[in-house]
Amino acid sequence: MEYVDGEDLRTIIDHASPLPAHTASLIALGIARGLEYTHSQGIIHRDIKPSNILISRQGDVKLIDFGIAKDDVSAKLTLTGMIVGTPAYMAPEQANGDPLSVQSDLFSLGILLYEMLTGVKPFLGENNTEILARIVRNKYVSPERINPGIPVALRRIVKKILRKDPLRRYQNSTELIYDLEKVIPWQLRSRKKQIIARMLSHLNKDRPISATTIDMNVYTGPQTWA
């Protein structure tokens, strides 16, 4: 296996979030390109989460751990009611034990993008049951309420990718890549590796984990429903 000198996205989110919008977008773009290739091979990852994303010191974004990945045929044969994956990063259909699609991986990527931009997961709960219930209901706080500095176009991407109905999300990674590239100026895209590598070189692991916090009472206010 390839050795990647760097950090996983979990460590980066824990010690550096919220990330600058352009940095989060560049990382999401790298993940989307990895999924574009994976999906083109007929493979659904099914466990997209921060610890399965590696960021190298050269600025490369690597998607790892295909331990529970399935090809399209196998995914359709998965028993209804069987839940496989990490609860906080599941798509609604995954939480329900329903058949998965490429849109399921994209929903999980949307959760990563939300978390990079805000420092918190969109679907919070006291336990996995509560988390899964919020995912199924698609109940989350709009990202701009936590971080008002998120550009409007990027907010739209997050909300589209986190829609409950898979048919209303991006239909494939290529569509998402197109929108992300419109959000990120070409001057930054051309220096993608340098920007990500510099962010990693400045990562301060002495910074307390979960430096960004959110009051659970915020969920009593206006919600985003997809």
Catalytic machinery residues? 47
Largest CA distance in the chain: 47
Q: What are phi and psi of 7, to 5 degrees?
A: -135, 155
CA angle 208, 124, 11 (to 5 degrees): 35
Find residue 62's DSSP bridge partners.
54
Residue 155 CA to residue 143 CA, distance in Å, equals 7
Angle at alpha carbon of residue 165, lines to 68 and 130, rounded to 5°: 65
* CA 134 – CA 158 distance, rounded (Å): 17
